[in-house]
């Protein structure tokens, strides 16, 4: 019997690496990114309803539209159409991930909604099938549906799950500035980027490999938002930090730490939004 209430974690997405190529003729950018997910994020709760009704809580929800422009409702309607059903649902979103923060919050919420409604409505669709719907909602949604360590290429549609990947104790910081993705890509394009050069395969020493990688959007984001540079400089000066980098298009930054205690010390010391997390993706 289908449970009357279903809850799904919408984990924060972290781009440990992000290579970006010049825009394609259709305007999309080819990517090559190593993506992991935190054991922290938003929560999506669904239960039966006669229509689609969305309620929201959490400080970060104040920045979200409550209408049809919200990705949660878009995901629900897309699944209705794809399944050819008119079942309804009461949806509650508890929003903890900052908006426009480079942590894939909106995509994670849409993905969690698809997973939750798939169960509520008894569709029993595979994640691969849900991912086809997810790609119509946003390039990051398919990756967020799997919520596992993975390599994402193309515009987000080519996904290779990494079944054996090290867990990292880490801290996620946000300097308190919203960074819309569009202007960052526009600034990146203005620098006349080269075609995408995909990353070499990872060796056994994952941390050493990560240190040799980069986030191609970091320079453009830092130029527009110096607060990001300040956050990265601060992180790199903290004891126990092995690697610090911006995630996605910013402004959030992450640091891989020596252990959980180090991550918690860094989070406690930061004067702003900070979360000590485990980056594994094993959240379901």
Collect contacts of 257-263 with beta carbons under 8 A, ≥24 apart: 257/168, 257/169, 257/170, 257/171, 258/169, 259/169, 260/169, 262/169, 263/169, 263/170, 263/171
Q: How many CB atoms lie within 10 A of CB 97?
A: 25
246 φ, ψ to 5°? -80, 150
Pairing of strands 31-49, 88-94: antiparallel
- Please check whether residue 11 is in contact with residue 43, taking contact to mean a CB–CB distance below 8 angstroms: no
Average pLDDT of 220-244?
Answer: 97
Tell me, yes or no, if the pTM score tops 0.85: yes
pLDDT confidence band for 4 (50 / 70 / 90): confident
Q: Apex CA 87: angle with CA 92 and CA 5, to 5°?
A: 40
d(CA 81, CA 75): 10
d(CA 144, CA 166): 19
Fill in the DSSP letter of residue 215.
B
Looking at the annotation, which residues are catalytic?
A: 13, 140
Model confidence pLDDT, tens digit, residues 97-116: 999 999 999 999 999 999 99
- Please check whether residue 64 is in contact with residue 99, taking contact to mean a CB–CB distance below 8 angstroms: yes
Model confidence pLDDT, tens digit, residues 8-54: 999 999 999 999 999 999 989 999 999 999 999 999 999 999 999 99
DSSP H or E run through 278: strand 273-279
d(CA 44, CA 64): 15
Q: What is the pLDDT of residue 165?
A: 85
């Amino acid at each position: 019997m289908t449970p009357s209430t279903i809850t799904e974690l919408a984990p924060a997405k972290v781009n440990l690496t992000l290579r970006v190529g010049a825009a394609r003729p259709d305007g999309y950018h080819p990517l090559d990114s190593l993506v992991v997910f935190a054991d922290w994020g938003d929560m999506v709760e669904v239960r039966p309803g006669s229509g689609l009704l969305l309620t929201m809580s959490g400080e970060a929800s104040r920045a979200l539209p409550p209408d049809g422009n919200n990705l949660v409702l878009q995901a629900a309607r897309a699944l209705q159409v794809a399944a050819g059903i008119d079942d309804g649902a009461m949806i509650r979103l508890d929003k903890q991930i900052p908006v426009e923060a480079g942590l894939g919050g909106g995509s994670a919420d849409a993905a969690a909604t698809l997973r939750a409604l798939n169960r509520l409505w008894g569709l029993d669709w595979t994640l691969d099938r849900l991912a086809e719907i997810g790609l119509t909602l946003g390039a990051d949604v398919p990756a967020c549906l799997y919520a596992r360590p993975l390599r994402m290429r193309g515009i987000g549609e080519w996904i290779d799950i990494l079944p054996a990947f090290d867990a990292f104790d880490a801290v996620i910081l946000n300097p308190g500035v919203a960074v819309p993705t569009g202007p960052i890509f526009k600034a990146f394009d203005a620098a006349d980027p080269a075609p995408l050069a995909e990353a070499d395969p990872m060796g056994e020493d994952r941390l050493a490999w990560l240190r040799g990688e980069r986030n191609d959007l970091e320079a453009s984001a830092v130029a527009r938002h110096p607060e990001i540079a300040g956050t990265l400089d601060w992180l790199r000066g903290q004891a126990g930090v092995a690697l610090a980098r911006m995630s996605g298009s910013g402004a959030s930054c992450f640091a891989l730490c020596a252990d959980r205690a180090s991550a918690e010390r860094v989070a406690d010391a930061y004067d702003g939004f900070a979360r000590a997390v485990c980056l594994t993706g094993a959240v379901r």
